[in-house]
Amino acid sequence: MICSDLTFAASANAIVYCGATPIFIDSNHETWNLAPQLLALELDACAKRGKLPKAAVVVDLYGQCADYNPIVEICSRYSVPIIEDSAEAFGATYNGVQAGRFGVMAVFSFNGNKILTTSGGGMLVSDNPHYIEQARFLSQQARDPAPHYEHSQIGYNYRLSNLLAAIGRGQLERLDEKVAKKRTINTFYREALSDLPGIEFMPEAYYGKSNYWLTVILITPEKFGADREEVHLALDEENIESRPIWKPMHLQPVFKDCRFRGGSVSKDLFDRGLCLPSGTQMTEEDLERVVKIIKDCCKAT
């Protein structure tokens, strides 16, 4: 199965749970998401080898949708269904359409760190009632319809409890407010840091609106005078959590034997990228503290 290279391991792990093998596709610099041109090259090569992937897991990175117009066009040319990994992108839009509408199905995460959280769990959505029925069946240990416990397939305990679902429904009402707060945080950081030499922000692609789940910067050490790890450690010393961006899947030991199509975009983003504290509870004072520490790291002359 095709999979975005720059993502959290969960996207690729799900492929392996099914007994399939991931093929990783690099990002482009404009969106940081899966590069459509590389996808086209890979599917063309797969078709020539006579073995097309069963599906493509396309990730909406850090709250920004991938570029679905070309991706959907390329995948439908080869009849490869898309599974949208919108774990990070609840509330984001692509050409005005909500994330999660572009594949045959999509998943969202309600993990503790996400924009909408039930402390754990998530949601699978699809327009296809058969997929939903099958997902419900598998998520509850694949119990066949019978008066006793009968199983003709292996199932999973992947159900979201009623209690957590109720928490999620409550939070849903505040989604717009949370996206607005995340975007305010992003604007604050941009205004405070954009003028520093060697600092760039994850670009917001022209085609959509990011939910800015996390605000992410790139630090070019030759211009900034310190690298992303130095900034990470300086924040850590003040008990402020920041994180390097996802380490690309093709560089992970566990996926070292998988195919990778691309160059060094995702690796470059990993080398220079830092996710800044972006919690919706943050006050202006909190943001100012983060900004001051980053500014103090700048040793540009």
Ligand X SMILES: Cc1ncc(COP(=O)(O)O)c(C=O)c1O
Contact between 201 and 217 (Cβ < 8 Å): yes
Q: Distance between CA atoms of 97 and 82, rounded to whole angstroms?
A: 16
111-to-191, 245, 248 alpha-carbon distances in Å: 30, 18, 21
Give strand pairing partners of 111: 119
Q: Which of residues 5-34 bind ligand X (CB under 6 A)?
A: 7-8, 10-11
Site string for ligand X, 40-59 (x = CB under 6 A): -------------------x
Q: Which two tokens stand for residue 266?
A: 């995702």
Nearest to ligand X of 67, 88 (CB atom):
88
Q: How far is the CB of 134 from ligand X (least distance, A)?
A: 19
Q: Which of residues 171-230 bind ligand X (CB under 6 A)?
A: none
Nearest to ligand X of 247, 289 (CB atom):
247
Q: Distance between CA atoms of 242 and 250, rounded to whole angstroms?
A: 23
Q: Which two tokens stand for residue 218?
A: 């790139």
Nearest to ligand X of 28, 109 (CB atom):
109
Among the listed residues 27, 109, 186, 215, the single contact to ligand X using CB under 6 A: 109
Confirm or reject binding of residue 252 to ligand X (CB under 6 A): no
Q: Distance between CA atoms of 78 and 46, rounded to whole angstroms?
A: 10
Q: Could you tell me where the DSSP H helices lie in the chain?
A: 9-17, 36-49, 68-77, 129-139, 162-172, 175-193, 221-224, 228-237, 265-272, 284-297
Q: How far is the CB of 196 from ligand X (least distance, A)?
A: 28
Q: How far is the CB of 87 from ligand X (least distance, A)?
A: 3
Q: Distance between CA atoms of 14 and 9, rounded to whole angstroms?
A: 9
Q: How many positions of this chain bind ligand X (CB under 6 A)?
A: 11
Residue 239: DSSP 8-state? T
Q: Which of residues 64-93 bind ligand X (CB under 6 A)?
A: 85, 87-88
Q: How far is the CB of 117 from ligand X (least distance, A)?
A: 9
Among the listed residues 36, 63, 100, 122, the single contact to ligand X using CB under 6 A: 122
Q: How far is the CB of 109 from ligand X (least distance, A)?
A: 3
Residue 98: DSSP 8-state? E
Name the residue number minimizing CB distance to ligand X: 109
Q: What residue ranges bind ligand X (CB under 6 A)?
A: 7-8, 10-11, 59, 85, 87-88, 109, 111, 122
